Amino acid sequence: MKSRLSLLFLLCLIVNPGLSMADAGKSAAKADETAVKSEADAKPQDAAKDTSKETPKEAGAAPTKSEEAAKDANAEATKPAEQPAAPPPADGPQLVGNIEAGKGKTQTCVACHGPDGNSTVPNWPKIAGQYENYLVKQLREFRLGEKGPRYEPSMYGMVANLSDQDIADLAAYYASEKQTLGKANSALVEVGQRIYRGGNVKTGVTACLACHGPEGLGNEAAKYPKLSGQHATYIDLQLHAFRDGKRKNSPNEMMESISHRLSDDEIKAVSSYIEGLR
Ligand code: HEC
Ligand code: HEC
């Protein structure tokens, strides 16, 4: 129990470096809340997350594993401090991906994401040039299926049978490709830019640039994804997914809580602005 709390705390430290000073405090408080919440009601979703944290190889296995994972966590606490200070990230230890091997595994992906990860259909994300660690996290979370924090039937079908090594290779390949540029709708730029750069003080929306950077390049170490050039339609869909609780995978519910404060019009405008970022 203690170890789970400290794990969450460390996790919070890891995800915080990109935050503004003001946000850092808020986010720490939020992490505490989350810790208390997950202690109080060990929902299946939490259990699934924990499983992916502690037994990544078996992340897709039956939920009863979470009990074992909890036991492991207790054992972990009594171990001598030989481990490095930082715990493995939420998605477990990273394997080294091989770009060439990854390229050879993309046959099933090209139909939607394009031959090089630059999808031309605006509902389907561009994944070329995205950070490798972020891609690994998403693919592993899709693979958890309905119990996972990002369930999407078509992607689940694509990754359900992939190994950790397949995922590492695919992520290495797509991260190595170059993303194509996008374009903003000039009628939406003003509002979009205001939200992106300044947030909305009245409704408590944090400026997107605090985490995703002024040019939408994100922060690789903190696993904040690159957004620039992404299809506005896809961004819009994801902001709604976070807001409607369909996508629940951002650390400390960062994106879930921000999206709740955005109106439909703000989502539309900021999504278009992001597509034009470069
Ligand atoms: C049938 C179309 C389809 C196929 C085939 C497909 N994808 Fe996807 N992919 C999607 C859709 C739709 C989403 C957005 C899912 C959502 O709304 O959460 C997505 C999302 C993703 C994301 C998350 C991107 C982000 O920015 O968070 C990654 C990574 C990804 N796909 C990789 C792959 C890989 C690797 C393959 C091949 C093994 C693949 N996809 C095959 C449709 C597809
Ligand atoms: C406190 C940090 C933070 C702030 C502020 C923030 N984000 Fe995010 N955002 C994240 C993180 C972390 C993720 C990745 C979640 C995950 O691991 O799946 C993310 C993911 C996203 C995604 C999904 C990208 C994809 O490829 O699927 C979109 C879209 C997004 N953010 C848009 C925004 C917008 C628009 C704003 C401003 C209104 C914003 N974010 C503000 C941290 C932040």
Of 122, 142, 176, which residue sits at a domain end? Answer: 176
235, part of any domain:
yes
Q: What are the tens digits of pLDDT across the range 30-73? A: 444 444 344 434 333 343 334 344 433 444 444 444 444 444 44
pLDDT at 15 over 90: no
Whether 55 contacts 68, CB under 8 Å:
yes
Residues 171 and 198 in one domain: no
> 79-93, 102-116, 160-174, 225-239 — which is least confidently predicted?
79-93
pLDDT tens-digit profile of 165-176?
999 999 999 999
**Same domain assignment for residues 215 and 243:** yes
Task: Determine if ligand 1 sits within 6 Å of the CB of residue 125.
Answer: yes
Q: Give yes or no for residue 127 CB within 6 A of ligand 1.
A: yes
The model's confidence at residue 92, banded by pLDDT at 50, 70 and 90, is low
Residues 111-135: b if buried by 16+ CB within 10 A, e if exposed: ebbbebbbbeebebbbbbbbbbbbb
Any idea which ligand is nearest the CA of 162? 1
| Mean pLDDT over each residue of the chain, to the nearest integer | 79
Q: Which of 162, 156, 135, 154 is nearest to 144 (CA)?
A: 156
The answer, yes or no, to whether any atom of ligand 1 lies below 6 A from the CB of 219, is no
Which residue minimizes the CA distance to atom 41 of ligand 2? 208
Q: How far apart, in Å, are the Cα atoms of 49 and each of 7, 141, 243?
A: 12, 9, 20
Name which residue leads in pLDDT, 244 or 58.
Answer: 244
Q: How many domains does the chain have?
A: 3
Least confident of 73-77, 145-149, 174-178: 73-77
Domain containing residue 117: CATH number = 1.10.760.10
Nearest ligand 1 atom to the CA of 241 is 17
Pocket test for ligand 1, best of 119, 127, 137 (most atoms within 8 A of CB): 127
Q: Ligand nearest 250 Cα, by number? A: 2
My answer on whether 271 and 204 are in the same domain is yes
197 CA from centroid of ligand 1 (Å)? 28
Express as a percent the part of the chain with pLDDT over 90. Answer: 66
Range of the domain at 54: 2-78
pLDDT of res. 93: 72
Residue 112 Cβ < 6 Å to ligand 1: yes
Cα of 259 to ligand 2 centre, how many Å?
9
Rounded Cα distance, 70 and 47, in Å: 9
Ligand number, closest to the Cα atom of 175: 1
- pTM across the whole model: 0.76
pLDDT, one tens digit per residue, over 103-127 is: 999 999 999 999 999 999 999 999 9
